[in-house]
């Protein structure tokens, strides 16, 4: 298999995840499975407060470079035919797509796992900064402990398999 097809996009304007999925499907000839994930802006915080706006910053050039590095890690672990990542920046409202991750492989397991891995690493390692506006208050969001735990489970592949077996049973 040649190098997997990779498309990374930092989008300053709203994007259409269904169109992104359809486009991706056309570009991964030979794949037997596609897994696509879309993250949406939640309208409420964990404490039930309304979020009126989310603002995302990125570091042009560096953010793309770091996402490319994350995708390369996934490509080493799973035999991917392709992957596509779209991540929003700028001002977003509740319900808007904020991130899209699609992976394609010959078989489903690799596509599922690689998409899960990419999302965990995007949450923890991709250079984005998120500011949440609640009423008149705005605050910068920091990674939650769960985000770091989600990423850590990929460090030990045998441990990962055990954790998955327990969850699936």
Establish how many alpha carbons lie within 13 A of residue 155's alpha carbon, considering only the half-sphere containing its beta carbon: 6
Question: Do strands 33-40 and 97-105 pair parallel, antiparallel, or not at all (unpaired)?
Answer: antiparallel
3-state helix, strand, coil in the chain (%, to 5): 40, 35, 30
In three-state secondary structure terms, 44 is: strand
By C-beta, is 110 or 151 nearer to other proteins?
A: 151
Q: Which stretch binds other proteins (CB under 8 A): 12-20, 76-84, 140-148, 159-167?
A: 140-148
Find where tokens 């486009």 sit: 23
Subset of residues 37 to 66 that bind other proteins, contact rule: CB under 8 A: 39, 56-57, 59, 61-62, 65
**Candidate residues 140, 157, 163, 164; the one interacting with other proteins per rule CB under 8 A:** 140
Contact 31, 81 (CB under 8 A): yes
Interaction between residue 126 and other proteins (CB under 8 A): yes
**Candidate residues 44, 49, 129, 162; the one interacting with other proteins per rule CB under 8 A:** 129
85-124 footprint of other proteins as x/- string (CB under 8 A):
--x----------xx-------------------x--xxx
Which H or E run includes 63? Answer: helix 62-77
Q: Closest separation between CB of residue 145 and other proteins, Å?
A: 12
Find where tokens 């998409």 sit: 115
Where do contacts with other proteins occur on this chain (CB under 8 A)? 39, 56-57, 59, 61-62, 65, 87, 98-99, 119, 122-130, 140-143, 147
């Amino acid at each position: 298999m040649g190098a997997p097809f990779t498309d990374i996009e930092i989008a300053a304007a709203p994007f259409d995840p269904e169109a992104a999925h359809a486009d991706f499907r056309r570009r991964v000839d030979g794949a037997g499975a596609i897994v696509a994930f879309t993250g949406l802006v939640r309208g409420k915080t964990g404490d039930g407060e309304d979020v009126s706006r989310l603002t995302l910053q990125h570091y042009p050039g560096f953010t793309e470079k770091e996402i490319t590095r994350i995708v390369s890690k996934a490509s080493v672990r799973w035999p991917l035919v392709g992957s596509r990542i779209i991540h929003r920046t700028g001002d977003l409202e509740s319900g808007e797509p904020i991130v899209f991750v699609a992976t394609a492989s010959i078989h489903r397991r690799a596509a599922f796992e690689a998409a899960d891995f990419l999302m965990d690493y995007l949450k923890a390692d991709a250079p984005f900064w998120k500011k949440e506006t609640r009423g008149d208050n705005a605050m910068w969001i920091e990674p939650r402990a769960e985000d770091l735990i989600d990423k850590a489970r990929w460090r030990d592949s045998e441990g990962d398999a055990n954790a998955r077996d327990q969850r699936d049973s």
